[in-house]
């Protein structure tokens, strides 16, 4: 397995490029790691995405040199590298940031670089409502991968006093679709 190339030296101040904030050579190298013989809904792809993500979250330098967007009280998405098949995103979670309850139309891998993000898992009881089933605090180094076939119904939240940063790898074309979310749900008290 090849290592993540030149993470320590290849960063530049943020450019707002439609294909990602990382410099082109690094973008190409990272995306190549995700190009398997199978679709981005395959276990083969998912294993490759997990390996890459484990390396990316283990080294904070991948995001330390970038001027990531941050949104007070919410979360901000920063595309690091993307093509027609996959996108690698850095997410900055300010204190109080919370997503809707959602599932995904594509494969979804995420890992925590710094800080803590809470992940609340839900079970759908209809096409519109879901009940909470479990909560987990995800800290630095944590990595998870999900297929669109599920289970992948969750909500993310930063309940801590400081920012958190996570990296996400999604199997969709960022130029064609606005996000990885398939459907949003409302919480049903259990
Ligand atoms: Fe999600």
Per-residue model confidence (pLDDT) at position 156: 97
> Distance, CA 80 to ligand 1 centroid (Å)?
18
Looking at the predicted structure, is the pLDDT value of residue 160 above 50? Answer: yes
Query: Where are the alpha helices (H) located in 75-166, listed in sequence order?
Result: none
Q: What is the pLDDT of residue 190?
A: 66
Pairwise CA distance, residues 90 & 104, whole Å? 17
pLDDT at 99: 97
Spatial distance between the Cα atoms of 11 and 139, rounded to a whole number of angstroms: 24
Rounded average pLDDT over 172-189: 91
Cα angle value 109/110/115 (rounded, 5°): 175
pLDDT band, residue 17 (cuts 50/70/90): low
- Residue 7's pLDDT is 30
Q: How far is the CA of 167 from the centre of ligand 1 (A)?
A: 12
The whole-chain average pLDDT of the chain stands at: 88
- What's the gap in Å between 170 CA and the centre of ligand 1? 10
5 pLDDT above the threshold of 80: no
Q: What is the CATH number of domain 16-188?
A: 2.60.120.10
Query: CA dist 52 to 2, 73, 79, 122, 189, Å?
Result: 9, 29, 16, 27, 37
Does the pLDDT of residue 1 top 50, yes or no?
A: no
Q: Model confidence over 27-66: pLDDT tens digits?
A: 999 999 999 888 888 888 999 999 999 999 998 888 888 9
Domains of the chain, by residue range, sit at 16-188
Q: How far is the CA of 30 from the centre of ligand 1 (A)?
A: 22
pLDDT digits (tens, 9 = 90+) for 87-122: 999 999 999 999 999 999 999 999 999 999 999 999
Q: What is the Å distance from ligand 1's center to 182 Cα?
A: 10
pLDDT at 15: 40
């Amino acid at each position: 397995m090849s290592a993540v190339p030149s993470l320590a030296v290849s960063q530049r101040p943020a450019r707002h490029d439609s294909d990602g904030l990382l410099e082109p050579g690094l973008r190409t190298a990272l995306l190549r790691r995700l190009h398997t013989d199978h679709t981005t809904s395959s276990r083969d792809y998912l294993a490759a995405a997990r390996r890459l993500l484990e390396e990316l979250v283990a080294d904070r330098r991948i995001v330390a040199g970038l001027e990531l967007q941050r949104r007070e009280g919410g979360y901000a998405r920063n595309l690091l590298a993307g093509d027609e098949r996959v996108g690698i995103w850095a997410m900055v979670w300010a204190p109080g940031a919370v997503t809707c309850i959602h599932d995904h139309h594509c494969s979804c891998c995420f890992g925590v670089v710094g800080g803590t993000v809470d992940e609340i898992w839900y079970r759908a009881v209809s096409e519109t409502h879901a009940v909470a089933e479990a909560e987990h605090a995800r800290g630095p180094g944590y990595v998870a991968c999900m297929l669109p076939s599920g289970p992948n119904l969750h909500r993310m939240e930063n309940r801590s006093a400081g920012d958190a940063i996570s990296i996400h790898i999604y199997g969709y074309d960022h130029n064609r679709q606005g996000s990885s979310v398939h459907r949003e749900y409302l919480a049903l008290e259990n």
